[in-house]
């Protein structure tokens, strides 16, 4: 289904959908623009990772469509609730899948392709990969999650470095020196941190640091190293011993010899 004209059709639908959420007023429009740019960056990152795996044109098209559609829920979420916090509003991934069904964006697709896209959109923001999925769906979900994390790390570290200051990025979390012990322990243990544990902006920075433990493809590891995201997050945190140790654990993982190899070789047709 994911041929060039289908990618173009979906891109046109997305552009119109995004435009329908612009209001002509700040700060709504800048929040919409933030996610519009994020979407196009995730598209670029997913194609980069996909090419590093020598994916065929049709699979690259599927990957591109996932990137274009993964955050459709964000536009309606901000329009309705004026926040990007799922905890304070609703799960934007589930909302996104609902929007795609409601708008009939994938009508005309075969059932397997449709459910692959809806599955990836609906699960792209989960703390953990879902266990029950066929290997092809899981492969594309991993691609999407890697590409998404890479661009969120860009947005977040640009914010921490003062390169732009959009209020929607810290999601209303208090910017005080406190760091939750459970969050530090999670990073030290090499575990993904859950959003429910987050109390402060510093906790959130550590949660983003811990994303490296849920990255799948060698190209993603390489990008994270090259763009120095961990350095920027650490520099934005208090220079305490627990922070230093947490950053060292994340860095050991991303720089270590155990970067995973290509994980998909199954029913890939
Ligand atoms: Fe998202």
Give pLDDT, residue 133.
80
Please state, in angstroms and rounded to a whole number, the distance separating the CA atoms of residues 164 and 45: 21
Please state, in angstroms and rounded to a whole number, the distance separating the CA atoms of residues 129 and 16: 31
Query: How far apart are the CA of 78 and the centre of ligand 1, in A?
Result: 12
Spell out the long-range contacts of 14-23 with Cβ–Cβ below 8 A and sequence spacing 24 or more: 14/39, 14/68, 14/69, 14/72, 17/72, 17/75, 17/99, 17/103, 18/75, 21/75, 21/76, 21/78, 21/79, 23/79
Query: How far apart are the CA of 1 and the centre of ligand 1, in A?
Result: 23
Query: How far apart are the CA of 86 and the centre of ligand 1, in A?
Result: 10
Residue 6's SS3 state is helix
Q: What is the pLDDT of residues 172-204, one digit of tens each?
A: 888 888 899 999 999 999 988 888 899 999 999
26: left (phi over 0), alpha (psi -120 to 50) or beta: beta
Domains of the chain from N-terminus onward: 4-150 (1.10.3210.10), 177-269 (no CATH)
Nearest to 109 by CA among 230, 1, 232: 1
Query: How far apart are the CA of 252 and the centre of ligand 1, in A?
Result: 27
Q: What is the pLDDT of residues 40-97, one digit of tens each?
A: 999 999 999 999 999 999 999 999 999 999 999 999 999 999 999 999 999 999 999 9
Query: How far apart are the CA of 54 and the centre of ligand 1, in A?
Result: 25
Query: How far apart are the CA of 32 and the centre of ligand 1, in A?
Result: 13
Q: Annotate 31-94 with DSSP letters as a single string.
A: HHHHHHHHHHHHHHHHHHHHHHTT--HHHHHHHHHHHHHTTHHHHHHHHHHS---TTTS--HHH
Give pLDDT, residue 263.
44
Query: How far apart are the CA of 89 and the centre of ligand 1, in A?
Result: 14
Nearest to 134 by CA among 268, 2, 262, 260: 268
Q: What is the pLDDT of residues 205-249, one digit of tens each?
A: 999 999 999 999 999 999 999 999 999 999 999 999 999 999 999
Query: How far apart are the CA of 195 and the centre of ligand 1, in A?
Result: 13
Query: How far apart are the CA of 74 and the centre of ligand 1, in A?
Result: 7
């Amino acid at each position: 289904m994911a041929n060039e004209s289908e990618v173009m059709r979906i891109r046109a639908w997305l552009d119109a959908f995004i435009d329908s959420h612009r209001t002509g007023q700040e700060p709504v429009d800048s929040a919409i623009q933030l996610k519009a740019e994020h979407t196009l960056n995730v598209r670029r990152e997913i194609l980069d990772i996909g090419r590093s795996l020598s994916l065929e044109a049709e699979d690259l098209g599927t990957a591109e469509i996932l990137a274009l559609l993964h955050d459709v829920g964000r536009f309606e979420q901000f329009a309705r609730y004026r926040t990007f916090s799922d905890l304070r509003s609703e799960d934007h991934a589930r909302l996104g899948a609902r929007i795609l069904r409601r708008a009939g964006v994938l009508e005309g697709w075969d059932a397997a392709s449709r459910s692959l896209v809806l599955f990836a959109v609906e699960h792209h923001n989960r703390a953990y990969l879902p266990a029950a999925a066929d290997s092809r769906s899981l492969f594309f979900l991993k691609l999407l999650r890697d590409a998404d994390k890479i661009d969120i790390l860009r947005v977040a570290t640009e914010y921490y470095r003062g390169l732009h200051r959009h209020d929607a990025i810290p999601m209303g979390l208090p910017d005080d020196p406190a760091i939750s012990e459970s969050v530090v322990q999670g990073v030290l243990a090499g575990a993904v941190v859950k959003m429910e544990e987050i109390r402060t902006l510093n906790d959130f920075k550590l949660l983003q640091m811990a994303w490296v433990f849920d990255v799948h493809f060698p190209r993603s590891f390489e990008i994270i190293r090259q763009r120095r995201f961990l350095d920027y997050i650490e520099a934005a945190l208090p220079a305490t011993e627990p922070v230093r140790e947490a950053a060292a654990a994340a860095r050991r993982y991303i720089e270590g010899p155990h970067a995973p190899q290509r994980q998909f070789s199954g029913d890939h047709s």
